[in-house]
Structure 1
Amino acid sequence: MVLAGCVPAGRRSAPVPPPAAAPAPKPAPTPDEVAQLPAPAPAWETRPVDADAKTIAAQRYVVRKGDTLRGIADRTGSASEAIARANGLSAPFVVRSGQTLSIPGGRYHLVRPGQTGIAIARAYALPWTRIVAANALVEPYILRAGQRILIPVDTAQPVSAAERAAAFTLDVDSILTGGEPAVAANQPPARPVASPRRVLPATAAVVAPAALPGRFIWPVDGRVIRRFGPGASGERNDGIKIAVPLDTPIRAVADGTVAYVGDGIAALGGLVIVKHGGGWTSVYGHAAKLSVQRGQAVTKGQTIALSGETGYADRPELHFELRRGRTPVDPTTQLPRR
């Protein structure tokens, strides 16, 4: 009452506005909305690579006190892995003072953070498989920032950067072995995300889950119209083709982590690649709509795409592959009998 007596006659105190209502939470995206999410650029397009490899001559090096294999590689411009192979060194790659090492010569590229094998191969107009073989790279094929890799010499290599990029051909094997970005030493791979709304940055490396995939299921219900292996005209099919109606849900054949989503391989059109444990990979091509993102964890039976006739498909169909390591395996030998 005392406060009320202080209000001048003829004036009213301003009404207090009601508190603003909290914004309603956004509903979870529907499968159709998820399918329309734009796919981010693949990792190999976000970190350009200059073809700036340094050529060194083969030489001998006498180990000094305090030398490490990595330090010797930095001093000579060679690759520590190449030096280890040339001298029969095995982990933990200890060198002794006074020891004479053979330093293999060649053309070495210094890997920068975020660079991928695919981007490096494009820069030098070489098949990534040749670089894998020259450096004896193995699973999980993740490069290390500061690592040097040997670039084979090709006398017919195109001169300009545009010609080198045009000469590179992307395929499933390249994505599996050269699609992950280089990481800093001791940097762990990224943890899979649960939702397609959470997109991993292109600089995050994705690896396969550790658990074995167990029994695979069929990705769709349909008729196999092309089988694994050589075709009538001699071309090889690394998977099977299954005829299905348009917009048929395509299911993950086992738990795994999505390694690639996009349309970078023209022949396969809309494409999803999933890594499973035990070195297994599944490949799903000709999709019309893609419902997952790179780095997303998926479960067996989950819809990851809708079927279509993209790429070089001449009818609505699914191109499906299973690979163990880098080797394509006839899917019908691993899928349940019908």
Structure 2
Amino acid sequence: MGGPLAAALALALPAAAASAVPPTFSAFEKRSSSGGDGASREDKAREDKAPPAAPRSAASARPRVAPPAASPSAEETPPARADAVDVEKQTYVVKPGDTLSRVAGKTGAAFMAIARENKIERPFIVRLGQKLKVPAGRYHLVRPGERGIAIARAYGVEWGRIAEINHLEEPFLLRAGERLLIPSTREVAGMSMEERAKAFHIDIDDLVTGNEPALAPKARPARPVRTAARPVPPGVPVAEPAQTFSGKFVWPVVGSIMRRYGLQPSGARNDGVNIRAQMGETVRAAADGVVAYAGDLAAFGKLVLIRHGGGWLTAYGHADSLLVTRGQAVKQGQPIARAGATGSAREPQLHFEIRDGRKPVNPMEWLPKRN
């Protein structure tokens, strides 16, 4: 997925952990790369002809869009408080007036952890006198506005690990007052320096699953806005797109392929494709959707993420400037950014990804065929 992430590490990573990161590729970069350093000779030899452009009109060719207010960098996420409570394995007998939520509050364990342990399904009804097994663990109480990636940083673990042990699913919304199971102190103490370094790396998957602020217990996510001039407040999560995704994408820019999807000759992995572009060239939305993120990320520079409904998401990295803001509804072909060489890129290009849920897929299998 990308180049070095020294900026992310510098925020909170101890010097000893930082020294464990290889000089060329970070721990997570070994798994995937944005290809920002340009294509290899083999890749360049296989360059394709320019793809068909997204639909344009005379009005959209030179959009008069005022630059949106600067979005905070993902690395600048407000910190969370590390005050998890250790809960011992126990048996709780349901008392008059108890609900599963109240049992969770009394014991300090996570609501869903108790439900899974006792095989209780929706609507999560418990019976008077029922004996509930309360699983042992280290539980964090989520506060209003906290983000998953900030919670993970507070405990020095990867957000992906917390999402995994809590069985989090789409749309990955946290609610204030709920509890999250945190890896045990023993597990954290046994982590290598390289694993500790990963806790301070933020990648696209982290933004997809752990960047929305925790919602108040009975509140609803904000509805998408029409323009960048009226952005969704940063402390409010954004609602999923209302429409059903059509399954059709268009090319976000016109250009040859600099680096393809998948494993590269260098051994790095690219979770998308890198498309050659002119500096300042218009980058267009590949499909209708809602902007989930518009800001900076160390490896990708200026980055836009768009949710399209049904778990589908597209990513647009290395932009020179952004034309949209988080929470903004966009149409297919709408200008969303200007191409550039930010992040790890050394020449103008667009790093483009398509994701089905958390899984990156090959964009070439979903974009229109070339002539």
TM range (shorter): 0.7 to 0.9
Kindly indicate whether residue 229 of structure 2 is the aligned counterpart of residue 197 of structure 1: yes
2:245 equivalent in structure 1? 213
Task: Find 1:142's aligned residue among 163, 173, 197.
Answer: 173
Task: Find 2:161's aligned residue among 113, 130, 152.
Answer: 130
1:314 equivalent in structure 2? 346
Check conservation: 2:287, 2:332, Cα contact below 8 A: yes
Higher RCO (C-alpha 8 Å, min separation 6): 2
Kindly indicate whether residue 94 of structure 2 is the aligned counterpart of residue 63 of structure 1: yes
Kindly indicate whether residue 368 of structure 2 is the aligned counterpart of residue 336 of structure 1: yes
Task: Find 2:126's aligned residue among 83, 89, 95.
Answer: 95
Give the deviation of 1:314 after TM superposition: 2.1
TM-score (ref. length: structure 2): 0.78
Using the TM superposition, name which of 75-84 and 180-189 deviates more: 180-189
Give the deviation of 1:41 after TM superposition: 2.4
1:85 equivalent in structure 2? 116
Kindly indicate whether residue 277 of structure 2 is the aligned counterpart of residue 241 of structure 1: no
Check conservation: 2:75, 2:202, Cα contact below 8 A: no
Give the deviation of 1:31 after TM superposition: 5.2
2:337 equivalent in structure 1? 305
Give the fraction of aligned pairs with identical amino acids, expressed as a percent: 52
- With over 3 angstroms needed to count, the CA separation of the structure-2 counterparts of 1:42 and 1:70, relative to structure 1, is farther
Instruction: For 1:31 and 1:193, locate their aligned partners in 2 and report how far apart those are by CA, in whole Å.
Output: 18
- With over 3 angstroms needed to count, the CA separation of the structure-2 counterparts of 1:277 and 1:166, relative to structure 1, is closer
Instruction: For 1:173 and 1:202, locate their aligned partners in 2 and report how far apart those are by CA, in whole Å.
Output: 19
User: What whole-Å deviation, never above 9, does each CA across 1:83-132 have from its counterpart, x for those lacking one?
Assistant: 00001000011111111111011110000111110111111111110000
- With over 3 angstroms needed to count, the CA separation of the structure-2 counterparts of 1:259 and 1:113, relative to structure 1, is same
Instruction: For 1:47 and 1:97, locate their aligned partners in 2 and report how far apart those are by CA, in whole Å.
Output: 42
1:110 equivalent in structure 2? 141
SS of the counterpart of 1:177?
helix
- With over 3 angstroms needed to count, the CA separation of the structure-2 counterparts of 1:31 and 1:52, relative to structure 1, is farther
- List structure 1 runs of 4+ shifted beyond 6 angstroms: none
Kindly indicate whether residue 261 of structure 2 is the aligned counterpart of residue 228 of structure 1: yes
SS of the counterpart of 2:226?
coil
Q: Which has the larger radius of gyration?
A: 1
User: What whole-Å deviation, never above 9, does each CA across 1:195-253 have from its counterpart, x for those lacking one?
Assistant: 11112111111132132332110001110121110000111100000011111100000
Using the TM superposition, name which of 212-221 and 317-326 deviates more: 212-221
Give the deviation of 1:155 after TM superposition: 1.0
Kindly indicate whether residue 189 of structure 2 is the aligned counterpart of residue 155 of structure 1: yes
User: What whole-Å deviation, never above 9, does each CA across 1:123-156 have from its counterpart, x for those lacking one?
Assistant: 1111110000110011000001100000012115
Task: Find 1:296's aligned residue among 313, 325, 328.
Answer: 328
Check conservation: 2:93, 2:132, Cα contact below 8 A: yes
Check conservation: 1:229, 1:236, Cα contact below 8 A: yes
- With over 3 angstroms needed to count, the CA separation of the structure-2 counterparts of 1:131 and 1:233, relative to structure 1, is same
- With over 3 angstroms needed to count, the CA separation of the structure-2 counterparts of 1:114 and 1:48, relative to structure 1, is same
Check conservation: 1:255, 1:298, Cα contact below 8 A: yes
Check conservation: 1:219, 1:252, Cα contact below 8 A: yes
TM-score (ref. length: structure 1): 0.85
- With over 3 angstroms needed to count, the CA separation of the structure-2 counterparts of 1:136 and 1:58, relative to structure 1, is same
Instruction: For 1:294 and 1:109, locate their aligned partners in 2 and report how far apart those are by CA, in whole Å.
Output: 27
Check conservation: 1:125, 1:157, Cα contact below 8 A: no
Length, aligned pairs only: 302
User: What whole-Å deviation, never above 9, does each CA across 1:258-277 have from its counterpart, x for those lacking one?
Assistant: 0111112x111111111101
Check conservation: 2:158, 2:198, Cα contact below 8 A: no
- With over 3 angstroms needed to count, the CA separation of the structure-2 counterparts of 1:46 and 1:322, relative to structure 1, is closer
Check conservation: 1:44, 1:179, Cα contact below 8 A: no
Instruction: For 2:244 and 2:274, locate their aligned partners in 1 and report how far apart those are by CA, in whole Å.
Output: 25
Instruction: For 2:165 and 2:361, locate their aligned partners in 1 and report how far apart those are by CA, in whole Å.
Output: 25
2:105 equivalent in structure 1? 74
